Chain A
Amino acid sequence: MNNISGKVVIVGVAESDQIGIVPDKSVLQLHAEAAHNALNEAGLSIKDVDGIFAAGTSPMETAEYLGIVPKYLDGTSVGGSSFVIHAGHAATAIANGLCNVALITHGESGRSRVGAGGFPQSPQNMRGQFEAPFGLPLPVGAYAMACSRHMALYGTTNEQLAEIAVATRKWAAMNPKAMYRDPLTIDDVLKTRWVAWPFHLLDCCLVTDAGGAVVLTSMERARDLKTQPVAMLGFGESIDHSMISQMRDFTSGPAKISGKQAFEMAGVKPSEIDLAMIYDSFTYTVLLSLEDLGFCKKGEGGAFVSNQRTAPGGAFPLNTNGGGLSYTHSGMYGVFTLIEATRQLRHDYQNEGIRQVKNAKLAVAHGTGGVLSSAGTAILARA
Protein backbone atom coordinates (compact mmCIF):
# COMPACT_ATOMS: atom_id res chain seq x y z
CA MET A 1 0.00 0.00 0.00
CA ASN A 2 2.75 2.46 0.95
CA ASN A 3 4.33 2.27 -2.49
CA ILE A 4 1.34 4.22 -3.85
CA SER A 5 1.73 7.16 -1.47
CA GLY A 6 2.92 10.29 -3.24
CA LYS A 7 3.45 8.64 -6.63
CA VAL A 8 0.40 10.14 -8.31
CA VAL A 9 -0.37 13.84 -8.57
CA ILE A 10 -3.21 16.16 -9.43
CA VAL A 11 -2.15 18.30 -12.40
CA GLY A 12 -5.37 20.05 -13.38
CA VAL A 13 -8.55 21.16 -11.64
CA ALA A 14 -11.46 23.24 -12.88
CA GLU A 15 -15.11 24.12 -12.62
CA SER A 16 -17.42 24.41 -15.61
CA ASP A 17 -17.46 27.83 -17.35
CA GLN A 18 -20.26 28.97 -15.08
CA ILE A 19 -21.50 27.56 -11.80
CA GLY A 20 -24.50 28.55 -9.74
CA ILE A 21 -27.68 29.04 -11.73
CA VAL A 22 -26.96 27.74 -15.24
CA PRO A 23 -30.36 27.08 -16.81
CA ASP A 24 -29.09 26.65 -20.37
CA LYS A 25 -26.58 23.82 -19.88
CA SER A 26 -27.12 20.11 -19.53
CA VAL A 27 -25.45 17.77 -17.08
CA LEU A 28 -23.13 16.42 -19.79
CA GLN A 29 -22.18 19.89 -20.99
CA LEU A 30 -21.18 20.78 -17.43
CA HIS A 31 -18.98 17.64 -17.36
CA ALA A 32 -17.44 18.58 -20.71
CA GLU A 33 -16.66 22.19 -19.82
CA ALA A 34 -15.01 21.21 -16.55
CA ALA A 35 -13.01 18.47 -18.27
CA HIS A 36 -11.90 20.85 -21.01
CA ASN A 37 -10.83 23.50 -18.52
CA ALA A 38 -8.95 21.08 -16.26
CA LEU A 39 -7.04 19.45 -19.15
CA ASN A 40 -6.18 22.89 -20.55
CA GLU A 41 -4.82 23.98 -17.22
CA ALA A 42 -2.54 20.93 -17.11
CA GLY A 43 -1.49 21.32 -20.74
CA LEU A 44 -2.92 17.92 -21.63
CA SER A 45 -5.27 16.94 -24.43
CA ILE A 46 -8.31 14.67 -24.31
CA LYS A 47 -6.21 12.21 -26.36
CA ASP A 48 -3.91 11.82 -23.36
CA VAL A 49 -6.75 10.61 -21.16
CA ASP A 50 -6.81 6.84 -20.80
CA GLY A 51 -8.71 6.54 -17.52
CA ILE A 52 -12.24 7.83 -16.94
CA PHE A 53 -13.98 8.20 -13.58
CA ALA A 54 -17.56 9.37 -13.29
CA ALA A 55 -20.49 9.33 -10.88
CA GLY A 56 -24.05 10.45 -11.45
CA THR A 57 -23.63 9.90 -15.15
CA SER A 58 -22.07 6.55 -16.02
CA PRO A 59 -18.53 6.20 -17.36
CA MET A 60 -20.19 5.05 -20.62
CA GLU A 61 -22.26 8.20 -21.07
CA THR A 62 -19.37 10.39 -19.98
CA ALA A 63 -16.70 8.77 -22.17
CA GLU A 64 -19.06 8.73 -25.15
CA TYR A 65 -19.88 12.43 -24.79
CA LEU A 66 -16.24 13.44 -24.32
CA GLY A 67 -14.90 11.16 -27.05
CA ILE A 68 -12.67 9.05 -24.83
CA VAL A 69 -11.86 5.36 -25.32
CA PRO A 70 -10.40 4.51 -21.91
CA LYS A 71 -8.41 1.50 -20.84
CA TYR A 72 -9.35 2.07 -17.22
CA LEU A 73 -12.76 3.07 -15.93
CA ASP A 74 -14.58 3.47 -12.65
CA GLY A 75 -18.22 4.32 -12.11
CA THR A 76 -18.30 4.09 -8.34
CA SER A 77 -21.38 6.14 -7.56
CA VAL A 78 -21.99 6.38 -3.84
CA GLY A 79 -23.15 9.98 -3.62
CA GLY A 80 -21.10 13.12 -3.16
CA SER A 81 -18.04 11.32 -1.81
CA SER A 82 -17.63 9.42 -5.09
CA PHE A 83 -15.12 11.80 -6.64
CA VAL A 84 -12.76 11.69 -3.69
CA ILE A 85 -13.01 7.91 -3.80
CA HIS A 86 -12.29 8.11 -7.56
CA ALA A 87 -9.10 10.06 -6.84
CA GLY A 88 -7.89 7.20 -4.65
CA HIS A 89 -8.82 4.62 -7.27
CA ALA A 90 -7.10 6.71 -9.96
CA ALA A 91 -3.95 6.94 -7.87
CA THR A 92 -3.97 3.17 -7.40
CA ALA A 93 -4.45 2.57 -11.13
CA ILE A 94 -1.80 5.05 -12.26
CA ALA A 95 0.75 3.90 -9.67
CA ASN A 96 0.29 0.37 -10.96
CA GLY A 97 0.60 1.32 -14.62
CA LEU A 98 -3.02 0.52 -15.50
CA CYS A 99 -3.52 3.98 -16.97
CA ASN A 100 -1.46 7.15 -17.21
CA VAL A 101 -3.81 10.12 -17.27
CA ALA A 102 -7.02 9.91 -15.27
CA LEU A 103 -9.95 12.27 -15.71
CA ILE A 104 -12.54 12.59 -12.94
CA THR A 105 -15.56 14.60 -14.00
CA HIS A 106 -18.69 15.80 -12.33
CA GLY A 107 -21.66 17.62 -13.80
CA GLU A 108 -24.99 18.18 -12.20
CA SER A 109 -27.92 20.38 -13.04
CA GLY A 110 -29.15 20.17 -9.47
CA ARG A 111 -31.07 23.41 -9.60
CA SER A 112 -32.20 23.78 -13.22
CA ARG A 113 -32.56 20.03 -13.89
CA VAL A 114 -31.37 20.26 -17.52
CA GLY A 115 -30.74 16.76 -18.85
CA ALA A 116 -30.87 15.50 -15.29
CA GLY A 117 -32.01 12.04 -14.27
CA GLY A 118 -34.72 11.35 -11.71
CA PHE A 119 -34.59 9.50 -8.45
CA PRO A 120 -36.34 6.18 -9.13
CA GLN A 121 -38.31 5.03 -6.11
CA SER A 122 -39.95 1.68 -5.68
CA PRO A 123 -42.55 0.89 -2.99
CA GLN A 124 -40.97 -2.56 -2.77
CA ASN A 125 -37.33 -1.73 -2.17
CA MET A 126 -36.17 -1.37 1.42
CA ARG A 127 -36.54 2.41 1.50
CA GLY A 128 -39.95 2.15 -0.15
CA GLN A 129 -41.14 -0.30 2.48
CA PHE A 130 -39.47 0.91 5.65
CA GLU A 131 -38.81 4.65 5.29
CA ALA A 132 -40.96 6.24 2.58
CA PRO A 133 -44.30 5.57 4.38
CA PHE A 134 -43.19 7.93 7.17
CA GLY A 135 -42.40 10.96 5.00
CA LEU A 136 -38.76 11.57 5.81
CA PRO A 137 -37.62 14.44 3.53
CA LEU A 138 -34.33 13.42 1.95
CA PRO A 139 -31.55 14.06 2.37
CA VAL A 140 -32.14 16.78 4.97
CA GLY A 141 -34.33 14.76 7.34
CA ALA A 142 -31.77 11.97 7.57
CA TYR A 143 -28.93 14.28 8.57
CA ALA A 144 -31.25 16.11 10.96
CA MET A 145 -32.22 12.89 12.74
CA ALA A 146 -28.59 11.93 13.17
CA CYS A 147 -27.75 15.39 14.47
CA SER A 148 -30.49 15.21 17.11
CA ARG A 149 -28.64 12.36 18.79
CA HIS A 150 -25.30 14.19 18.77
CA MET A 151 -27.01 17.15 20.43
CA ALA A 152 -28.65 14.93 23.05
CA LEU A 153 -25.51 12.93 23.84
CA TYR A 154 -22.89 15.67 23.71
CA GLY A 155 -24.78 18.92 24.25
CA THR A 156 -24.00 20.19 20.76
CA THR A 157 -26.02 23.36 20.12
CA ASN A 158 -27.63 25.17 17.20
CA GLU A 159 -25.23 28.05 17.91
CA GLN A 160 -22.25 25.75 17.40
CA LEU A 161 -23.69 24.45 14.13
CA ALA A 162 -24.27 28.04 13.03
CA GLU A 163 -20.59 28.84 13.71
CA ILE A 164 -19.76 26.61 10.76
CA ALA A 165 -22.21 28.35 8.41
CA VAL A 166 -20.95 31.80 9.44
CA ALA A 167 -17.24 30.97 9.09
CA THR A 168 -17.85 29.32 5.74
CA ARG A 169 -19.67 32.43 4.51
CA LYS A 170 -16.60 34.53 5.39
CA TRP A 171 -14.50 32.38 3.05
CA ALA A 172 -17.20 32.61 0.37
CA ALA A 173 -17.07 36.40 0.56
CA MET A 174 -13.56 36.19 -0.96
CA ASN A 175 -14.56 33.78 -3.75
CA PRO A 176 -16.08 35.52 -6.79
CA LYS A 177 -17.57 32.19 -7.90
CA ALA A 178 -19.53 31.73 -4.68
CA MET A 179 -23.30 32.04 -4.84
CA TYR A 180 -23.79 33.61 -1.38
CA ARG A 181 -21.23 36.22 -0.35
CA ASP A 182 -23.12 38.57 1.97
CA PRO A 183 -21.96 38.67 5.58
CA LEU A 184 -23.81 36.44 7.99
CA THR A 185 -24.05 36.30 11.78
CA ILE A 186 -24.90 33.41 14.08
CA ASP A 187 -28.14 35.20 14.91
CA ASP A 188 -28.98 35.43 11.20
CA VAL A 189 -28.63 31.67 10.89
CA LEU A 190 -30.75 31.00 13.97
CA LYS A 191 -33.49 33.29 12.65
CA THR A 192 -33.92 31.39 9.40
CA ARG A 193 -36.87 29.02 9.20
CA TRP A 194 -36.77 25.44 10.36
CA VAL A 195 -36.35 23.05 7.45
CA ALA A 196 -36.16 19.89 9.51
CA TRP A 197 -35.47 20.40 13.20
CA PRO A 198 -32.70 20.69 14.40
CA PHE A 199 -31.70 22.31 11.10
CA HIS A 200 -32.47 25.87 10.14
CA LEU A 201 -32.43 26.83 6.47
CA LEU A 202 -28.81 28.03 6.68
CA ASP A 203 -27.64 24.75 8.20
CA CYS A 204 -28.34 23.37 4.73
CA CYS A 205 -26.27 23.60 1.57
CA LEU A 206 -27.19 25.36 -1.64
CA VAL A 207 -28.73 23.68 -4.64
CA THR A 208 -26.91 24.78 -7.78
CA ASP A 209 -25.83 23.76 -11.26
CA ALA A 210 -22.13 23.02 -11.64
CA GLY A 211 -19.43 20.91 -13.22
CA GLY A 212 -16.03 20.06 -11.81
CA ALA A 213 -13.07 18.03 -12.99
CA VAL A 214 -9.74 16.76 -11.72
CA VAL A 215 -6.86 15.38 -13.81
CA LEU A 216 -4.28 13.05 -12.29
CA THR A 217 -1.12 11.50 -13.65
CA SER A 218 2.20 10.06 -12.48
CA MET A 219 4.81 12.23 -10.81
CA GLU A 220 7.19 11.53 -13.74
CA ARG A 221 4.65 12.68 -16.31
CA ALA A 222 3.82 15.77 -14.26
CA ARG A 223 7.37 17.11 -14.53
CA ASP A 224 6.69 18.18 -18.14
CA LEU A 225 3.33 19.78 -17.38
CA LYS A 226 2.40 23.38 -16.66
CA THR A 227 1.05 23.23 -13.14
CA GLN A 228 2.54 22.81 -9.68
CA PRO A 229 1.72 19.16 -8.90
CA VAL A 230 -0.21 18.17 -5.81
CA ALA A 231 0.45 14.64 -4.59
CA MET A 232 -2.04 12.02 -3.45
CA LEU A 233 -0.26 11.19 -0.22
CA GLY A 234 -2.95 8.98 1.24
CA PHE A 235 -6.55 7.99 0.68
CA GLY A 236 -9.30 5.84 2.08
CA GLU A 237 -12.95 5.01 1.64
CA SER A 238 -15.82 3.21 3.33
CA ILE A 239 -19.58 2.70 3.49
CA ASP A 240 -21.67 2.35 6.63
CA HIS A 241 -25.21 1.99 5.27
CA SER A 242 -27.55 3.03 2.49
CA MET A 243 -30.64 4.07 4.48
CA ILE A 244 -30.34 6.34 7.51
CA SER A 245 -32.44 3.91 9.58
CA GLN A 246 -29.59 1.41 9.17
CA MET A 247 -26.78 3.72 10.34
CA ARG A 248 -24.90 1.89 13.09
CA ASP A 249 -24.27 5.00 15.19
CA PHE A 250 -25.83 8.41 14.48
CA THR A 251 -22.76 10.09 15.96
CA SER A 252 -20.04 8.25 14.02
CA GLY A 253 -19.85 7.44 10.34
CA PRO A 254 -17.71 5.82 7.65
CA ALA A 255 -15.21 8.71 7.80
CA LYS A 256 -13.67 6.95 10.77
CA ILE A 257 -12.47 4.17 8.47
CA SER A 258 -11.67 6.27 5.39
CA GLY A 259 -9.79 8.82 7.48
CA LYS A 260 -7.74 6.29 9.42
CA GLN A 261 -6.60 4.60 6.23
CA ALA A 262 -5.82 7.90 4.49
CA PHE A 263 -3.77 9.29 7.38
CA GLU A 264 -1.91 6.01 7.86
CA MET A 265 -1.02 5.77 4.17
CA ALA A 266 0.12 9.39 4.14
CA GLY A 267 2.11 8.93 7.33
CA VAL A 268 0.81 12.18 8.80
CA LYS A 269 -1.36 13.16 11.76
CA PRO A 270 -4.46 15.37 11.73
CA SER A 271 -2.51 17.97 13.72
CA GLU A 272 -0.12 18.42 10.77
CA ILE A 273 -2.87 19.37 8.31
CA ASP A 274 -2.82 23.00 7.09
CA LEU A 275 -6.35 23.14 5.73
CA ALA A 276 -9.38 20.89 5.55
CA MET A 277 -11.92 20.72 2.75
CA ILE A 278 -14.77 18.81 4.31
CA TYR A 279 -18.03 18.16 2.53
CA ASP A 280 -20.65 20.44 4.08
CA SER A 281 -24.01 19.26 2.83
CA PHE A 282 -25.23 20.31 6.26
CA THR A 283 -23.44 21.91 9.18
CA TYR A 284 -23.65 18.62 11.08
CA THR A 285 -21.89 16.80 8.23
CA VAL A 286 -18.81 18.91 8.95
CA LEU A 287 -18.96 18.54 12.70
CA LEU A 288 -19.28 14.76 12.51
CA SER A 289 -16.51 14.47 9.90
CA LEU A 290 -14.10 16.57 11.99
CA GLU A 291 -14.58 14.16 14.88
CA ASP A 292 -14.43 11.00 12.80
CA LEU A 293 -11.28 12.15 10.97
CA GLY A 294 -9.58 12.73 14.33
CA PHE A 295 -9.29 16.52 14.34
CA CYS A 296 -10.98 16.45 17.73
CA LYS A 297 -12.44 13.87 20.08
CA LYS A 298 -15.92 12.40 19.72
CA GLY A 299 -18.43 14.87 21.11
CA GLU A 300 -16.05 17.83 20.97
CA GLY A 301 -16.91 18.98 17.45
CA GLY A 302 -19.12 21.78 18.73
CA ALA A 303 -16.38 23.24 20.88
CA PHE A 304 -13.85 22.72 18.09
CA VAL A 305 -15.69 25.00 15.63
CA SER A 306 -16.65 27.65 18.21
CA ASN A 307 -15.35 31.23 18.26
CA GLN A 308 -15.04 31.25 14.46
CA ARG A 309 -12.01 29.00 14.66
CA THR A 310 -12.54 27.83 11.06
CA ALA A 311 -12.95 31.34 9.55
CA PRO A 312 -10.32 33.19 7.47
CA GLY A 313 -7.38 33.97 9.72
CA GLY A 314 -8.56 31.37 12.27
CA ALA A 315 -6.51 28.49 13.65
CA PHE A 316 -8.21 25.86 11.47
CA PRO A 317 -8.85 26.90 7.83
CA LEU A 318 -11.90 24.96 6.70
CA ASN A 319 -13.81 24.98 3.40
CA THR A 320 -11.87 27.91 2.06
CA ASN A 321 -13.92 28.10 -1.16
CA GLY A 322 -17.10 28.84 0.78
CA GLY A 323 -18.20 25.22 0.71
CA GLY A 324 -21.48 23.67 -0.25
CA LEU A 325 -23.08 26.04 2.23
CA SER A 326 -22.20 29.24 0.34
CA TYR A 327 -20.10 28.56 -2.80
CA THR A 328 -21.81 25.83 -4.78
CA HIS A 329 -23.55 22.53 -4.24
CA SER A 330 -24.86 20.83 -7.33
CA GLY A 331 -25.92 17.68 -5.51
CA MET A 332 -22.73 15.64 -5.34
CA TYR A 333 -20.21 18.21 -4.19
CA GLY A 334 -17.18 16.04 -3.44
CA VAL A 335 -15.12 16.97 -6.50
CA PHE A 336 -14.98 20.58 -5.31
CA THR A 337 -13.14 19.57 -2.14
CA LEU A 338 -10.32 18.24 -4.35
CA ILE A 339 -10.37 21.33 -6.58
CA GLU A 340 -10.06 23.81 -3.73
CA ALA A 341 -7.50 21.78 -1.76
CA THR A 342 -5.36 21.63 -4.91
CA ARG A 343 -5.61 25.38 -5.52
CA GLN A 344 -4.64 26.15 -1.93
CA LEU A 345 -1.67 23.78 -2.05
CA ARG A 346 -0.51 25.33 -5.34
CA HIS A 347 -0.76 28.73 -3.65
CA ASP A 348 -3.08 29.96 -6.43
CA TYR A 349 -4.43 32.67 -4.10
CA GLN A 350 -1.04 34.03 -3.01
CA ASN A 351 -1.95 37.54 -4.19
CA GLU A 352 -5.33 37.49 -2.45
CA GLY A 353 -4.38 38.15 1.17
CA ILE A 354 -5.93 35.90 3.80
CA ARG A 355 -7.79 33.89 1.18
CA GLN A 356 -4.53 31.97 0.71
CA VAL A 357 -3.75 29.67 3.63
CA LYS A 358 -0.16 30.64 4.37
CA ASN A 359 2.53 28.11 3.48
CA ALA A 360 -0.11 25.48 2.82
CA LYS A 361 1.66 22.15 2.37
CA LEU A 362 -0.81 19.52 3.54
CA ALA A 363 -4.56 19.35 3.04
CA VAL A 364 -7.36 16.91 3.59
CA ALA A 365 -10.20 16.63 1.07
CA HIS A 366 -13.09 14.68 2.49
CA GLY A 367 -16.36 13.66 0.90
CA THR A 368 -19.54 12.34 2.48
CA GLY A 369 -22.14 10.62 0.31
CA GLY A 370 -25.74 9.54 0.54
CA VAL A 371 -27.20 10.06 4.01
CA LEU A 372 -23.92 9.93 5.95
CA SER A 373 -23.61 6.65 4.08
CA SER A 374 -20.25 6.73 2.32
CA ALA A 375 -16.95 8.48 2.83
CA GLY A 376 -13.83 9.20 0.82
CA THR A 377 -10.77 10.88 2.28
CA ALA A 378 -7.68 12.13 0.46
CA ILE A 379 -4.55 13.59 2.02
CA LEU A 380 -2.94 15.94 -0.48
CA ALA A 381 0.53 17.46 -0.38
CA ARG A 382 2.27 20.22 -2.30
CA ALA A 383 4.76 18.14 -4.27
Chain B
Amino acid sequence: MPDYSKPLPTPDPITQPFWDSVKAHAMQMQKCAHCGKFIFYPRAVCPHCFSRDLKWTPVSGKGKIYGFTISHQKVIQAFANDVPYVIALVELDEGARLMTNLVGVEPDPAKIKVGMDVVVHYDDVTDAITLPKFKPA
Protein backbone atom coordinates (compact mmCIF):
# COMPACT_ATOMS: atom_id res chain seq x y z
CA MET B 1 0.00 0.00 0.00
CA PRO B 2 2.71 2.50 -0.91
CA ASP B 3 0.24 4.91 -2.52
CA TYR B 4 -1.72 5.74 0.64
CA SER B 5 -1.88 9.54 0.49
CA LYS B 6 -4.07 10.47 3.46
CA PRO B 7 -2.69 11.91 6.69
CA LEU B 8 -1.10 9.28 8.91
CA PRO B 9 -0.36 9.51 12.62
CA THR B 10 3.19 9.64 13.91
CA PRO B 11 3.01 7.84 17.27
CA ASP B 12 4.89 9.24 20.23
CA PRO B 13 6.13 7.31 23.28
CA ILE B 14 2.87 7.77 25.20
CA THR B 15 0.58 6.88 22.29
CA GLN B 16 2.68 4.06 20.79
CA PRO B 17 0.93 1.26 22.75
CA PHE B 18 -2.43 2.36 21.32
CA TRP B 19 -1.14 2.29 17.75
CA ASP B 20 0.57 -1.04 18.42
CA SER B 21 -2.68 -2.48 19.77
CA VAL B 22 -4.78 -1.48 16.76
CA LYS B 23 -2.07 -2.81 14.47
CA ALA B 24 -2.47 -6.10 16.33
CA HIS B 25 -6.28 -5.81 15.83
CA ALA B 26 -6.75 -5.85 19.60
CA MET B 27 -7.40 -2.28 20.68
CA GLN B 28 -6.26 -1.15 24.11
CA MET B 29 -6.78 2.10 25.94
CA GLN B 30 -5.47 3.49 29.18
CA LYS B 31 -7.57 2.83 32.27
CA CYS B 32 -7.03 4.96 35.34
CA ALA B 33 -6.16 2.80 38.34
CA HIS B 34 -7.31 5.57 40.66
CA CYS B 35 -10.73 6.63 39.32
CA GLY B 36 -11.41 3.59 37.14
CA LYS B 37 -12.20 5.54 33.99
CA PHE B 38 -10.96 4.68 30.52
CA ILE B 39 -9.32 7.65 28.86
CA PHE B 40 -8.58 8.60 25.28
CA TYR B 41 -6.38 10.01 23.68
CA PRO B 42 -3.47 8.50 25.65
CA ARG B 43 -1.93 10.82 28.23
CA ALA B 44 0.64 11.02 30.98
CA VAL B 45 -2.10 11.90 33.47
CA CYS B 46 -5.78 11.04 33.85
CA PRO B 47 -7.89 14.05 32.72
CA HIS B 48 -10.59 13.06 35.20
CA CYS B 49 -8.54 12.82 38.41
CA PHE B 50 -4.93 13.74 37.45
CA SER B 51 -3.59 10.37 38.56
CA ARG B 52 -0.44 9.15 36.81
CA ASP B 53 -1.39 5.52 37.43
CA LEU B 54 -2.73 4.57 34.00
CA LYS B 55 -2.81 0.95 32.82
CA TRP B 56 -3.09 -0.21 29.21
CA THR B 57 -6.23 -2.35 29.13
CA PRO B 58 -8.05 -4.17 26.30
CA VAL B 59 -11.34 -2.64 25.18
CA SER B 60 -14.32 -4.36 23.54
CA GLY B 61 -14.29 -2.38 20.29
CA LYS B 62 -18.05 -2.01 20.70
CA GLY B 63 -19.82 1.26 21.16
CA LYS B 64 -22.41 3.75 19.95
CA ILE B 65 -22.29 6.74 17.63
CA TYR B 66 -22.08 9.86 19.83
CA GLY B 67 -22.30 12.26 16.87
CA PHE B 68 -21.44 12.27 13.19
CA THR B 69 -21.18 14.33 10.06
CA ILE B 70 -21.20 13.48 6.37
CA SER B 71 -18.56 15.52 4.61
CA HIS B 72 -19.23 16.82 1.13
CA GLN B 73 -16.20 19.11 1.32
CA LYS B 74 -13.27 18.60 -1.01
CA VAL B 75 -11.00 20.99 0.89
CA ILE B 76 -8.80 18.19 2.20
CA GLN B 77 -7.06 17.08 -0.99
CA ALA B 78 -6.43 13.51 0.11
CA PHE B 79 -10.13 12.96 0.85
CA ALA B 80 -11.54 14.78 -2.18
CA ASN B 81 -12.33 11.59 -4.08
CA ASP B 82 -14.12 10.06 -1.10
CA VAL B 83 -16.99 12.54 -0.71
CA PRO B 84 -19.48 12.04 0.70
CA TYR B 85 -17.93 10.16 3.61
CA VAL B 86 -18.83 9.78 7.27
CA ILE B 87 -16.75 11.00 10.20
CA ALA B 88 -18.11 9.93 13.56
CA LEU B 89 -17.30 10.21 17.22
CA VAL B 90 -17.84 6.79 18.79
CA GLU B 91 -18.38 6.27 22.50
CA LEU B 92 -17.09 2.84 23.44
CA ASP B 93 -18.99 0.70 25.93
CA GLU B 94 -16.06 1.42 28.26
CA GLY B 95 -16.89 5.14 28.14
CA ALA B 96 -13.98 6.59 26.17
CA ARG B 97 -14.67 8.30 22.85
CA LEU B 98 -12.65 8.33 19.65
CA MET B 99 -12.96 9.89 16.23
CA THR B 100 -13.28 7.53 13.31
CA ASN B 101 -14.76 6.91 9.89
CA LEU B 102 -17.95 4.92 9.64
CA VAL B 103 -17.66 2.25 6.95
CA GLY B 104 -19.97 -0.46 5.63
CA VAL B 105 -22.99 1.84 5.45
CA GLU B 106 -24.18 4.35 2.85
CA PRO B 107 -23.34 7.97 3.72
CA ASP B 108 -27.02 8.70 4.13
CA PRO B 109 -28.46 10.46 7.19
CA ALA B 110 -31.51 8.20 6.93
CA LYS B 111 -29.33 5.14 7.53
CA ILE B 112 -27.02 6.42 10.27
CA LYS B 113 -28.30 7.42 13.68
CA VAL B 114 -26.82 8.95 16.78
CA GLY B 115 -26.91 6.16 19.36
CA MET B 116 -26.54 3.43 16.72
CA ASP B 117 -24.49 0.36 17.75
CA VAL B 118 -21.15 0.07 15.99
CA VAL B 119 -18.13 -2.20 16.18
CA VAL B 120 -14.49 -1.60 15.35
CA HIS B 121 -13.20 -2.48 11.88
CA TYR B 122 -9.41 -2.50 11.70
CA ASP B 123 -8.19 -0.89 8.49
CA ASP B 124 -4.55 -1.75 7.75
CA VAL B 125 -3.88 1.35 5.67
CA THR B 126 -0.09 0.86 5.49
CA ASP B 127 2.39 -1.75 6.67
CA ALA B 128 3.05 0.39 9.74
CA ILE B 129 -0.32 1.92 10.56
CA THR B 130 -3.76 0.49 11.19
CA LEU B 131 -6.66 2.89 11.68
CA PRO B 132 -9.58 1.93 13.95
CA LYS B 133 -12.67 2.46 11.81
CA PHE B 134 -16.17 1.41 12.78
CA LYS B 135 -19.09 -0.31 11.08
CA PRO B 136 -22.70 -0.96 12.10
CA ALA B 137 -22.84 -3.77 14.65
Q: Report which A residues bind B (CB closer than 8 A).
A: 122-124, 126, 128-137, 140-141, 144-146, 148-149, 151-153, 193-199, 244-246, 250
Which of B9, B67, B72, B75 is in CB contact (< 8 Å) with A123? B9
Q: Are B84 and A194 interface neighbours, CB within 8 A?
A: yes
Interface pairs (23), CB distance under 8 Å: A123-B9, A124-B12, A129-B10, A129-B12, A130-B40, A130-B41, A132-B9, A133-B8, A134-B131, A135-B7, A135-B78, A137-B75, A137-B76, A140-B73, A141-B73, A146-B67, A148-B67, A149-B66, A149-B114, A193-B72, A195-B73, A245-B89, A245-B98
B36 at the interface (CB under 8 A from A): no
Nearest chain-B residue to A126 (Cβ)?
B41
Interchain CA distance A128-B72 in the complex, whole Å: 21
A192 to chain B, nearest CB (A): 11
Q: Are A194 and B70 interface neighbours, CB within 8 A?
A: yes
Q: A135-B79, A140-B73 are in contact. Are A152 and B115 (CB under 8 A)?
A: yes
Q: Are B85 and A196 interface neighbours, CB within 8 A?
A: no
Q: Are B89 and A133 interface neighbours, CB within 8 A?
A: no
* Number of A-B residue pairs at CB separation under 8 A: 111
B113 at the interface (CB under 8 A from A): yes
Q: CB-CB contacts of B79-92 with A at 8 A, as 1s and 0s? A: 10010110111000
Interchain CA distance A131-B82 in the complex, whole Å: 17
Interchain CA distance A131-B41 in the complex, whole Å: 10
Q: A146 to chain B: which residues have CB within 8 Å?
A: 67
Q: A136-B87, A136-B99 are in contact. Are A141 and B69 (CB under 8 A)?
A: yes
Q: B70 to chain A: which residues have CB within 8 Å?
A: 194, 196-197
CB proximity to A under 8 Å, residues B50-86: 66-73, 75-76, 78-79, 82, 84-85
Q: CB-CB contacts of B21-46 with A at 8 A, as 1s and 0s? A: 00000000000000000001100000
Q: A131 to chain B: which residues have CB within 8 Å?
A: 99
Q: Are A133 and B6 interface neighbours, CB within 8 A?
A: yes
A223 to chain B, nearest CB (A): 49
Q: A245 to chain B: which residues have CB within 8 Å?
A: 41, 89, 97-99
Q: How large is the interface on B (under 10, 10 to 19, 20 to 34, 35 or more residues)?
A: 35 or more
Nearest chain-B residue to A140 (Cβ)?
B73
Q: B76 to chain A: which residues have CB within 8 Å?
A: 135, 137
In the complex, besides A134-B87, A135-B7, A135-B76, 9 extra interface pairs with C-beta distance below 8 angstroms are A133-B7, A137-B73, A137-B76, A141-B87, A144-B69, A149-B66, A244-B99, A245-B98, A246-B41
Q: A193 to chain B: which residues have CB within 8 Å?
A: 72
Q: A144 to chain B: which residues have CB within 8 Å?
A: 69
Interchain CA distance A198-B71 in the complex, whole Å: 9
Interchain CA distance A198-B9 in the complex, whole Å: 28
Q: Are B82 and A135 interface neighbours, CB within 8 A?
A: yes
Q: Are A250 and B66 interface neighbours, CB within 8 A?
A: yes
Q: Are B15 and A129 interface neighbours, CB within 8 A?
A: yes
Q: A198 to chain B: which residues have CB within 8 Å?
A: 69, 109
A240 to chain B, nearest CB (A): 12
Interchain CA distance A246-B66 in the complex, whole Å: 12
B95 at the interface (CB under 8 A from A): no
Q: Are A135 and B85 interface neighbours, CB within 8 A?
A: yes
Interchain CA distance A151-B40 in the complex, whole Å: 25
Q: B88 to chain A: which residues have CB within 8 Å?
A: 145
Interchain CA distance A238-B109 in the complex, whole Å: 33
Nearest chain-A residue to B9 (Cβ)?
A129
B48 to chain A, nearest CB (A): 11
Q: A126 to chain B: which residues have CB within 8 Å?
A: 41
A120 to chain B, nearest CB (A): 14
Interchain CA distance A199-B41 in the complex, whole Å: 27
Q: B10 to chain A: which residues have CB within 8 Å?
A: 122-124, 128-129
Interchain CA distance A145-B6 in the complex, whole Å: 21
Q: Are A134 and B69 interface neighbours, CB within 8 A?
A: no
